[in-house]
């Protein structure tokens, strides 16, 4: 077996090679996509939002679900600059030489610090304001006093026509997301600030799961290269203020367990596969969109070259889904009801001709422009997959990235993701971000600075609603 990443990037080191040209093209196109998505609606007066949304926020900034609110400094500006500078000057070197356990620990700590510092640019409200909004889970969670009854009537309360219909987030997701916050309320963490800290702390575990998965697939060298970009991702701007950070962390953990099941040689693989299935089954009960992570799950098995865990994981994944159905909520019955509500609401006022590519611009804002360069570079090298010329670790990364790209394409063309995608794309972003590990060394050195600067600019220019 080849050493992790042993043949990595050598074809791409020449500045004029096709992968290097593709990386430059990918970066330019990503930046152009973002500029056009922001500029064209304003310059040409396109009606990309519902009229009610535009009236409420005249400075709304499609393709993001937020609005322009420039600020020079905030309480978290200095800490964010400090964490960013630490990450730029120390983290890449530390990631390359630290013991694996120490790398996981420091990656979690710095990711958590980065998320909190960015959120605190807006003061303590940067953590609390989103979760306490009337459309979010917490207000609904505080009103739940009978969980069995809530589950039995959950789908009935999705339509707008119901006199006691759920607010946007509870209606738009299966009940496990709401139950998470019900649990926080029951243990005394139902305040918006406390709940926000919990969400952020859980969300920061994502980087640990992704790194663990890559190492499991013989991609430790590339995991170490990707670590600074996963830790200091611009997605942190939205992770710290969104319940989707929980969905991101849960799915990443499930995929890491699945990878372990795929490579385990002894009978213990069954336990890992059961654990993976249970966790991934729960992820589908957190968000309907997590069903698309099945494509990334298949990519994990392809990268591991083992289909052995698949039937066990699938059966295990059905356990929480069927248990929830027995309790009164059938996923397959509720989703069509949600679809009707979606198209009865403001989705009908959001033109698909804009959001089909505006979605991708919002993803680029959240993931950072270097990810566009990484994806283009990986695509240019994809032909090497046929002969395994990429090496074991690089092949695994490329396959995972491809799975995430396919999932995003399906979500985009489904038209069920119009707007708000800087939030709903979060579970897919780590699997796109790892593409930067395939970039040449020079690209990664200045690219990390670009990602950090991008996150700071987004946080200071925009009022982010998630």
Q: Give 98-110 pLDDT, tens digit per residue.
A: 999 999 999 999 9
Residue 390 has pLDDT above 80, yes or no: no
> pLDDT exceeding 90 applies to what percent of the chain?
70
Mean pLDDT value of segment 401-416: 90
**Where does residue 437 rank: exposed (0-12), middle (13-18), buried (19+ CB within 10 A)?**
buried
Higher-pLDDT residue of 6, 84:
84
Average pLDDT, the chain: 89
| Segment of 180-189, 259-268, 418-427 carrying the highest mean pLDDT | 180-189
- Is residue 316's pLDDT more than 90? yes
Strand-pair category, 462-464 with 66-68:
antiparallel
**pLDDT bracket for residue 418 (50, 70, 90):** low
Q: pTM, whole model, 2 decimals?
A: 0.92
Query: In the prediction, which pLDDT does 424 show?
Result: 86
CA distances from 189 to 152, 204, 367, 406 (A): 25, 18, 30, 37
Predicted confidence (pLDDT) at residue 376 exceeds the cutoff of 50: yes
Give yes or no for residue 6 having a pLDDT over 60: no
pLDDT of residue 409: 93
DSSP structure class, residue 3: P
140-164 average pLDDT score: 95
| pLDDT mean over 60-82 | 87
Name the DSSP class of 2.
P
435, 419, 313: which is closest to 378 by C-alpha? Answer: 435
Q: Does residue 246 register a pLDDT over 60? A: yes
More confident residue, 248 or 358: 248
The pLDDT of residue 5 is: 42
Residue 426 confidence (pLDDT) above 70: yes
Q: Higher confidence at residue 8 or residue 431?
A: 431
pLDDT band at 349 (very low <50, low <70, confident <90, very high): low
- The DSSP H or E segment spanning 441 is helix 441-461
Q: Give the residue with greater pLDDT, 266 vs 11.
A: 266
Tokens of 308: 């052995």
Question: What is the model's pLDDT at position 56?
Answer: 46
- Interacting residues of 2 by C-beta distance below 8 A, sequence separation 6+: 218, 391, 392
Is 60 strand, coil or helix? Answer: strand
What is the pLDDT, as a whole number, of residue 354?
85
Q: Residue range 77-90: average pLDDT?
A: 97
The more confident residue out of 47 and 282 is 282
- 139 membership: H or E segment, kind and range: helix 137-143
Place of tokens 């890491």: 256
Q: What is the pLDDT of residue 2?
A: 37
- In this structure, are residues 123 and 75 in contact, taking their beta carbons and an 8 Å threshold? yes
Residue 258 contacts residue 301 (beta carbons within 8 Å): yes
Per-residue pLDDT at 118 exceeds 80: yes
Report for 18-22, 376-380, 425-429: range of highest mean pLDDT: 425-429
What pLDDT, on the 0 to 100 scale, is given for residue 381?
79
Confidence category of residue 235, pLDDT binned at 50, 70, 90:
very high
Q: What is the reported pLDDT for 9?
A: 42
pLDDT at res. 240 = 86
Q: CB under 8 Å to 235, separation ≥6 — which residues?
A: 366, 367, 368, 426, 429, 433
Q: What is the mean pLDDT of residues 365-375?
A: 96
Read off the tokens for 148: 């069995």
At residue 324's C-alpha, the angle toward residues 313 and 150, to 5°, is: 155
For residue 17, name the pLDDT band (cuts at 50, 70, 90). low
Confidence of residue 356 (pLDDT cuts 50, 70, 90): confident
For the record, the structure tokens of 458 come out as 């987004």
Distance CA 238, CA 366 (A): 7
Q: What is the mean pLDDT of residues 260-287?
A: 96
Q: Say if residues 17 and 11 touch (Cβ distance below 8 Å).
A: yes
């Amino acid at each position: 077996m080849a050493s992790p990443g042993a043949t990595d990037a050598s074809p791409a080191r020449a500045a004029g090679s096709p992968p290097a040209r593709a990386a430059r093209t990918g970066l330019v196109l990503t930046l152009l996509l973002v500029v056009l998505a922001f500029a064209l609606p304003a310059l040409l007066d396109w009606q990309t939002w519902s009229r009610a949304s535009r009236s409420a926020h005249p400075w709304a900034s499609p393709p993001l679900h937020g609005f322009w609110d420039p600020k020079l400094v905030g309480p978290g500006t200095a800490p964010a600059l400090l964490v960013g500078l630490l990450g730029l000057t120390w983290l890449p070197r530390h990631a390359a030489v630290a013991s694996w356990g120490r790398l996981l620990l420091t990656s979690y700590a710095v990711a958590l610090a980065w998320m909190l510092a960015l959120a605190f640019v807006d003061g303590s409200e940067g953590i609390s304001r989103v979760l306490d909004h009337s459309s979010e889970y917490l207000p609904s969670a505080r009103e739940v006093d009978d969980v069995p009854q809530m589950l039995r009537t959950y789908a009935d309360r999705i339509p707008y026509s119901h006199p006691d219909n759920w607010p946007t987030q509870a209606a738009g997701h299966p009940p496990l997301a709401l139950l998470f916050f019900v649990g926080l309320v029951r243990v005394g963490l139902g305040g918006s600030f406390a709940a926000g800290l919990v969400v952020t702390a859980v969300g920061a575990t994502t980087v640990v799961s992704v790194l663990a998965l890559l190492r499991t697939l013989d991609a430790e060298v590339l995991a170490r290269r990707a670590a600074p970009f996963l830790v200091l991702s611009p997605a942190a701007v939205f992770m710290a203020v969104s319940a989707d950070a929980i969905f991101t962390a849960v799915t990443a953990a499930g995929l890491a367990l699945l990878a372990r099941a795929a490579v385990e040689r002894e009978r213990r693989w069954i336990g890992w596969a059961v654990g993976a299935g249970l966790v991934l089954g729960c992820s589908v009960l957190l968000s309907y969109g997590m069903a698309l992570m099945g494509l990334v799950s298949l990519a994990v098995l392809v990268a591991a070259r083992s289909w052995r865990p698949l039937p066990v994981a699938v059966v295990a994944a059905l356990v929480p889904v069927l248990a929830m159905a027995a309790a009164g909520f059938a996923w397959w019955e509720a989703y069509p009801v949600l679809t009707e509500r979606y198209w009865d609401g403001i989705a009908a006022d959001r033109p698909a001709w804009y959001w089909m590519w505006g979605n991708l611009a919002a993803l680029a804002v959240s993931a950072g422009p270097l990810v566009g360069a990484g994806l283009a570079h990986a695509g240019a090298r994809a032909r090497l997959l046929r002969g395994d010329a990429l090496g074991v670790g690089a092949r695994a990364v490329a396959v995972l990235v491809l799975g995430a790209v396919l999932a995003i394409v399906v979500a985009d063309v489904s038209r069920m993701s119009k707007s708000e995608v800087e939030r709903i794309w979060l579970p897919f972003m780590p699997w796109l971000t790892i593409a930067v590990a395939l970039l040449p060394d020079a690209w990664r050195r200045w690219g990390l600075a670009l990602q950090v600067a991008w996150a700071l600019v987004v946080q200071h220019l925009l009022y982010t609603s998630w």
